[in-house]
Chain A
Amino acid sequence: MKIGTFVRATGIGLILLFAVAPILVLILAAFDEGRFFRFPPRGLSMRWFIAAFESAEYRASVTRSVVVASLATVISVGLGGLAALGLVRGRPPGQAYLEALILAPLALPLVVWAIAFLQVLSYSGLGGTLFGLILAHVIITLPIAMRVILATFTRIDPDLEAAARSLGATPVRAFLRTTLPLARGGIAGAAALSFLVSFNDVVVSTFVAGAGWVTFPVRLYAQLRGEGIDPITLAIGAMIVGVIIVGAIATELWPRRRGR
């Protein structure tokens, strides 16, 4: 039995290694000092990270990604939160259909939609505009934001709000002082997830982004298809992965208020 346990743990370890290998290699390659990564690396250096900060072009594309992702996140969390509230607290006619409609972009293939959306945008004169790009990003982040916030609202005990109201609070005030503070973590999670999905999106953006709004993933994809890998993009990629890992660790270690 002991040997069986050891074999299983090794097998699971190998599967986990397989899963994260591309990310680990990305980080290693970013520190390779050569222009073309080779394994084992000949020397490690920070030069591509320094070059990344010095490159105005890459800085601009990352900034564009941040702007697009921020706008998409604000809109998605706002509209998604409002819709989640309507679904949790109201009995609108066709409730299940409305929920399924807003969640539909999660279930249907985005490439197929992007091919259609590209044409609709173009025919309505919005092709290649920032508006079109933001709209596309909102479509992919809104269902994620709504789903997370909906799950959060559903878990919060409505009796707390009832108690606040029985103590004389108006409905709006009762919501703002009991349910909303309890939902803060879930709303922050919805925002983080929306931002991540929008920031990393290449599938939809590559169809919709115009020449004026080339985000970092779109720029990277074009470069990978054409001229090959620029080591600066490895450094930027490694930094993005670093931010994601630090964010995840911070969330895990954040002191949680236990109990209700």
Chain B
Amino acid sequence: MRSPREAGGGTSLSPTLSLLFIAPAAILVLAAFGLPFLLLLALSLASPVEGSLVPDMSNPTLAAYSRILGDGFYLRTLATTLAMSLATAAGCLALALPLAHWLARRAGRARRVLTAIVLLPLACGALLPTLGLVHLLGPLGVVNGTLRGLGLIASPLPLLGTQLGIVIGLIQAFLPFAVLPILAVLDRTPPVIEEAAITLGATPARLWVRIILPLAWPGLLAGGLLVFCSALTAFVTPQIVGQGKVATFAMLAYQQALQVLDWPFASALAVTMLAALALAAVVTFSLARLRP
């Protein structure tokens, strides 16, 4: 079957005309997205001017970076954020793999409805699920209320304002990011492979380790990277669920940009996040070669 995109049946545009069609969108993204990204590095080298938002760009300085690297607080926060992002990615993958595998074997309306349920929190944005989460995890919330009602705990578990609570919130927020890539990979593998393994006597454990895990590996890596990056740059869920008691790196950048108004320092924090993300991508791509 030929792809419609390659076929010559439709009206084709001349290169000039097609460029004219693409130009408005491309120029807009280049100017409003690409340019600020490129300027970020320069902005992080400026020095702040007392009483003014416009920093001094005339003599570039690495002061902001030496502040990040020299102060134990920023490095500790970076380490905490990296650890929580890793935990979030691991948690998402652990839940997403069985869920995606199960979804991949459904069809028709049942599958569409179940997929929609998985995607619903994503469709509601970052804030509304967080709003529910506060009432789920709070001292008087659903989890603590249920446990107390069952007589399992005497005093409420501290979930809000802790790293554990934040990781639970981040897993809930980013679970769809892990499910979708794994689902896309498993959809492309014929179910007969698993059936053959079962017919040949594979135990369930062996089936998962030897068949399903290697098949889903590219999806796991893509989903894991996506969740890790999203968790690393998240500031809404950590702020609300953490109640300001746990600092994350993106929260610091937010505070510097909007509350302290030290824009060169905020830019340097943003560049640092970008570097951490780039490192995560490199690690993931090298893991891609270690397919089990």
Residues of A within 8 A of B (CB): 4, 8, 11-12, 15-16, 18-29, 36-40, 79-80, 82-83, 85-93, 98, 101-102, 104-105, 108-113, 115-120, 122-123, 135-136, 138-139, 142-143, 146, 154-162, 165, 171, 174-175, 179, 196-197, 199-203, 206-207, 217, 220-221, 224-225, 229, 233-234, 237, 240-241, 244-245, 248, 252
Cβ A139 vs Cβ B140 within 8 A: no
Cβ B124 vs Cβ A158 within 8 A: no
* 17 A-B contact pairs sorted by A residue (CB < 8 Å): A19-B172, A23-B129, A28-B135, A38-B140, A38-B141, A82-B24, A87-B18, A90-B18, A90-B19, A112-B37, A113-B33, A115-B40, A117-B36, A118-B257, A146-B25, A217-B126, A224-B131
Contact among B18, B102, B176 for A91, CB-based, below 8 A: B18
Cβ A26 vs Cβ B132 within 8 A: yes
Please give me the residue from chain A that is nearest to B240 by CB atom.
A224
CA distance A38 to B134 in the complex (A): 11
Closest 8 CB pairs of A and B: A90-B18, A200-B125, A158-B10, A86-B21, A39-B145, A26-B132, A22-B132, A116-B36
Contact among A83, A234, A240 for B26, CB-based, below 8 A: A83
CA distance A11 to B97 in the complex (A): 12
User: Which one of A89, A110, A162 has the highest number of Cβ atoms from chain B below 10 Å of its Cβ?
Assistant: A89
Bits for B200-215, please: 1 = Cβ < 8 Å to A, else 0: 0000100000000000
Q: How far is the CB of B205 from chain A (nearest CB, A)?
A: 12
Cβ B15 vs Cβ A92 within 8 A: yes
Interfacial chain A residues near B18, Cβ < 8 Å: 85-87, 89-92
Interfacial chain A residues near B235, Cβ < 8 Å: 111, 203
Bits for B21-41, please: 1 = Cβ < 8 Å to A, else 0: 110111011101111110110
CA distance A200 to B12 in the complex (A): 38
Bits for B3-24, please: 1 = Cβ < 8 Å to A, else 0: 1110111111111011111101
Residues of B within 8 A of A (CB): 3-5, 7-15, 17-22, 24-26, 28-30, 32-37, 39-40, 43, 53-54, 95, 98-99, 102, 109, 112-114, 116-118, 120-121, 123-136, 138, 140-142, 144-146, 149, 172, 175-176, 204, 229, 232-233, 235-236, 239-240, 244, 250, 253-254, 257-258, 263, 266-267, 269-271, 273-274, 277
CA distance A20 to B179 in the complex (A): 14
Please give me the residue from chain B that is nearest to A159 by CB atom.
B9
Q: How far is the CB of A43 from chain B (nearest CB, A)?
A: 15
Q: How far is the CB of B281 from chain A (nearest CB, A)?
A: 10
Cβ A220 vs Cβ B123 within 8 A: no
Cβ B124 vs Cβ A244 within 8 A: yes
Q: How far is the CB of A153 from chain B (nearest CB, A)?
A: 8
Interfacial chain B residues near A120, Cβ < 8 Å: 35-36, 39
Please give me the residue from chain B that is nearest to A140 by CB atom.
B33
Q: How far is the CB of A27 from chain B (nearest CB, A)?
A: 8
Q: Chain B at the A interface: mostly helix, strand, loop or mixed?
A: helix
Please give me the residue from chain B that is nearest to A132 by CB atom.
B32
Cβ B9 vs Cβ A116 within 8 A: no
Q: How far is the CB of B255 from chain A (nearest CB, A)?
A: 11
Interfacial chain A residues near B130, Cβ < 8 Å: 22, 224
Q: How far is the CB of A16 from chain B (nearest CB, A)?
A: 6
Cβ A229 vs Cβ B134 within 8 A: yes
Cβ A20 vs Cβ B267 within 8 A: no
Contact among B10, B53, B270 for A122, CB-based, below 8 A: B53
Interfacial chain A residues near B273, Cβ < 8 Å: 109, 111-112
Cβ B124 vs Cβ A241 within 8 A: yes
Contact among B11, B53, B253 for A171, CB-based, below 8 A: B11
User: Which one of B21, B98, B175, B233 has the highest number of Cβ atoms from chain A below 10 Å of its Cβ?
Assistant: B21
CA distance A80 to B24 in the complex (A): 9
CA distance A119 to B264 in the complex (A): 10
Cβ A111 vs Cβ B131 within 8 A: no
CA distance A122 to B135 in the complex (A): 37
Cβ A38 vs Cβ B145 within 8 A: yes
Cβ A119 vs Cβ B36 within 8 A: yes
CA distance A237 to B32 in the complex (A): 31
Cβ A83 vs Cβ B10 within 8 A: no
Interfacial chain B residues near A240, Cβ < 8 Å: 124, 128
Please give me the residue from chain A that is nearest to B99 by CB atom.
A15
Cβ A23 vs Cβ B124 within 8 A: yes
Cβ B141 vs Cβ A39 within 8 A: yes
Cβ A4 vs Cβ B204 within 8 A: yes
Cβ B127 vs Cβ A202 within 8 A: yes
CA distance A238 to B232 in the complex (A): 28
Interfacial chain B residues near A200, Cβ < 8 Å: 123-128
CA distance A115 to B235 in the complex (A): 13
Cβ A113 vs Cβ B125 within 8 A: no
Cβ A162 vs Cβ B36 within 8 A: no
Contact among A22, A90, A110 for B136, CB-based, below 8 A: A22
Interfacial chain B residues near A217, Cβ < 8 Å: 125-127
CA distance A119 to B256 in the complex (A): 12
Contact among A11, A87, A118, A199 for B98, CB-based, below 8 A: A11
Interfacial chain B residues near A115, Cβ < 8 Å: 40, 253, 257, 263, 266-267, 269-270
